[in-house]
A and B are shown apart, each in its own frame.
Chain A
Amino acid sequence: MSSDAVIAVNRFGMGARKGELEKASRDPVQYLIDQLQPISFNEKLPNSDQLSIHLANYQQQKRLMKKEPESEQAKDFAKQQKQIRRYLGGNFKALCCDTLFRSIHSEQSLAWRLLDFWSNHFSVTTQGQMMRVLAPTLEREAIAPHMFGHFHDMVLAVMHHPAMLVYLNNDKSFGPNSKIGKRGKGLNENLGRELMELHTMGVGSGYTQADVIEMAKGITGWSVARPQRDDTTGFMFRANGHEPGHRVLLGKTYRQGGETQGIAMIKAVARHPATAKHVSTQLARHFVSDNPPESLIKKMTDRWKATDGNLKEVMITLIKSDEAWHQERQKFKSPREYVISTCRALNFQPKKQQAFLWFLKSLGQSPFQANSPKGYGDIEADWNGPSAVMSRANWSAQIAKSRGFLDPVYTMRQLLGEQVSNTTELAVKRAESRPQALTLMLMSPEFLRR
């Protein structure tokens, strides 16, 4: 098995499953390119529209119960409330676990790594009931469909998705001179700023505070329907909350035109050259190295510009670049990568799927809990610390105990081929028990890094 196959499967993919290295070694580059295909989810799980209706009913019931606590209806509702809460909470867990489960069992784990990358790029956090319902639907509904298309389509989908609109408060951001604005509601800069700073151009790329405000005004009225009052769900453009007049963003004027004004402005920042460089750098940093070589970033940025931000093409450029295939493992796995690659390695499936969430919590990276629109950190300094290493060791030992029937040396070959140091090889062979050998392998520098 070639060392390139080990790199393909571990650095680009989510870690080897049994037999995977062999498949990859025929043509590691092509093996990866073939994985750049759409992914699918468990379609039996509810989407954001369905969940929003349940939540709206729940909240309406709650209001009535408060108003008329003694009514028959209120007593009825009291019983239903617990059920709806359980339904919503259960679905949050199920949606998070569906992604993890599919990452672990996928034969195109590169695509699932990309989903995690983009989901973290457009990070949303579960603050409050509404976000707990919406957060896990963003990656399924707005991100996954565009991972191999144009970046600006992904940005537009995210900016139209209730999860992002609610998380960064744009659902209630209205133009000061709009009808709603004159009734006392007003502007909130949050989404406009993070769109430019985090999602597209990057901080310090040349836009000003005035641009941030113009961007925010351009998307005033981009809101979320309230199912009962508006009789629909999802994105809703509230024209009477949109700031009238033209907007000037980065020196260019955007005419008044309702929702289309914001669309044009978002497209402009998503297709901006600074965005090509900013996001290419983040991709290179995620896949290759905490300090990716300039030459690699340039190749990706050039390809981005040449293809109008075609993400599949940018990925192919990354995969075909020599700079991505150095022998040294320069990336330290995040807790999420560590859990997924361990489960792939040991073919481990917890009895209850929800255990995944406990794993991630114990290791410090619960889904949709970054608590910041910047998402979780993506460099070694963010994850390699005393507490992190201790909790990984403890967790690995626990998992390894339940997989004591696996042959450690055979498993190690399946994961890392011959790319193992003598020290690791000896430690695994000389361990006092199979679970301990597996633990050491999982905690070896070769497996902690990629």
Chain B
Amino acid sequence: MKRRDFFKVVGGSILLMQSPKLVFASPSVTSGSNKKFIWIILRGAMDSLHTVIPEFDSDYSKLRPKLSKQITEPTLKIDKGFAFNPAMQNMHKLYQQKELLPIVAVGSGYQSRSHFDGQDFLEGGTGTQNIKSGWLARAVNQKQVEAVAIDYAKPVSMRGSRNVTTWYPSKLKEADDDVFATLEKLYQGDERLTASLQGGLELKADAGGMKAGKAKKGSLSELTTACANLLLKSKTMDCAMLETVGWDTHNAQHSRLDRQLKELDAGLLALKQAMGKEWKKTVVAIATEFGRTARENGTGGTDHGTGGVMFLAGGGVKGGQVLGQWPGLKPEQLFQNRDLMPTTNTFDWLATALSQHWSLNSEQIKHVFPTGKIYKDRIV
């Protein structure tokens, strides 16, 4: 529902209609190609070798004598000798239906192993430390669509665009509508508060009455379901961002990753189900700030590393194949004799996905990823 419609419904005064700053009513927003792009960031550095397991590589179990043995259930085979962790049942089905595309040995180019700088780097997308402008916000600007971050405030990926709003489930009873009407006046002259309020009002109606079904409160499934509902209700909102935390598995990695992967697995399935037939036109990109050490550490886990894995999912992707170049796991093949060596760049894959899915040309992609290269082969 557009903001204007909302005020018609609640009986807003004429004066409000004249408010100068309309976040979404700008003519720069096209009326929806309906090609949806959803970005899921896994905060904490997901361990790729325990997720997309290189079973063909004889060094794998040497580097991880204990961790590799903790996977007792049958792994889920995919191409080139890789296998998914047994927790990824739904993702494996997606893979078989050619709707999931894992890309191994990727990295953003960040090499210093700090979560927080690594996340900013991945979200900024400029190849530098930058928290003012995110690649997804720039893509949204180029595509001229609207976007929602499932969060209380804008994460770095979504900073730098007026077309971005935020939404998070809340149990609070809503304040009277005329409180919001007056707040609009109060915030004149305060650009940031105005933007927040407008964004909030925009989604108030859409999100109202939205039920997440049986999903556990606060779970990724609840959030992806809600996210799909928001995207489906709007004609102009074609982009969303979600995040999950808890991937920093320094200890007891196997059981923790089992939980995490199950949550991701269920969240993706819930997203697919809630998107309904729009899933066909949807691309989901999933990445993490960096990978973890190739060797297991002393506490049943892994420490901060470099190369990792990313995924593209959705009815729109050319799934059912494993992309990326495997660098090998011998000491001299590891980055600094420690981490999986990144052989391709996360931003290049994201640039390619965006360019193919949203038909952004190379000029537009330069605004999104200044360093990004576009691959010729279709991945979407």
Contacts and interface: CB of A to CB of B under 8 A. Distances in A.
A52 interface: no
B249 to A, nearest CB: 10
Given A186-B297, A386-B203, A387-B153, A209 B193 contact: no
Interface residues of A, number: 58
Contacts of A431: 182
Contact of A169 (B116, B186, B188, B251): B251
A215 B246 CA distance: 24
A188 B301 contact: yes
B199 interface: yes
Contacts, number: 175
A190 B115 CA distance: 11
A424 B174 CA distance: 22
Contacts of A127: 246
Contacts of B151: 385, 387
Contact of A388 (B114, B131, B153, B251): B153
Which secondary structure dominates chain A's binding surface? helix
B170 A383 contact: no
Contacts of B20: none
A387 B171 CA distance: 12
Contact of B299 (A185, A380, A439, A445): A185
A387 B170 contact: yes
B172 A364 contact: no
B182 to A, nearest CB: 5
Contact of A436 (B176, B185, B193): B176
Interface in A117-140: 127
B193 A397 contact: no
A424 to B, nearest CB: 6
Contacts of A440: 179, 182-183, 186
B371 interface: no
Given A390-B204, A445-B193, A187 B245 contact: no
Nearest to A431: B182
Interface string A365-393: 00000011010000011111111111101
Question: Chain B interface residue count: which class?
Answer: 35 or more
A398 interface: yes
Contacts of B204: 390
A427 B185 contact: yes
Which secondary structure dominates chain B's binding surface? loop
A168 B251 CA distance: 9
Contact of A362 (B170, B182, B299): B170
Contact of B298 (A186, A381, A383): A186
Contact of A395 (B153, B172, B196): B172
A189 B304 contact: yes
B257 to A, nearest CB: 14
Given A197-B114, A427-B182, A383 B152 contact: yes
Contacts of B180: 393
Contacts of A197: 114, 116
A151 B187 CA distance: 41
Interface stretch (A58-66, A96-104, A172-180): A172-180
Nearest to B156: A381
B179 A174 contact: no
Given A372-B115, A423-B186, A440-B186, A188 B297 contact: yes
Interface stretch (B26-34, B88-96, B100-108, B161-169): B161-169
Interface of B: 43-44, 112-117, 131, 149, 151-154, 159, 165-168, 170-176, 178-180, 182-183, 185-190, 192-193, 195-204, 245-246, 248, 250-251, 297-299, 301, 303-304, 336
18 contacts: A173-B299, A176-B298, A186-B298, A187-B298, A188-B251, A193-B114, A209-B113, A371-B246, A372-B245, A385-B153, A386-B195, A386-B198, A397-B173, A398-B172, A398-B175, A423-B186, A440-B182, A445-B190
Given A190-B248, A388-B166, 12 more contacts: A186-B298, A190-B303, A203-B114, A332-B192, A364-B168, A372-B43, A383-B153, A386-B202, A390-B204, A393-B180, A440-B183, A440-B186
Interface of A: 127, 168-169, 172-174, 176, 181, 185-190, 193, 197-198, 203-204, 209, 212, 332, 362-364, 371-372, 374, 380-391, 393-398, 423-424, 427, 431-432, 436, 439-440, 443-445, 448
Interface pairs A-B: 4 shortest CB-CB: A186-B298, A385-B153, A386-B199, A397-B175
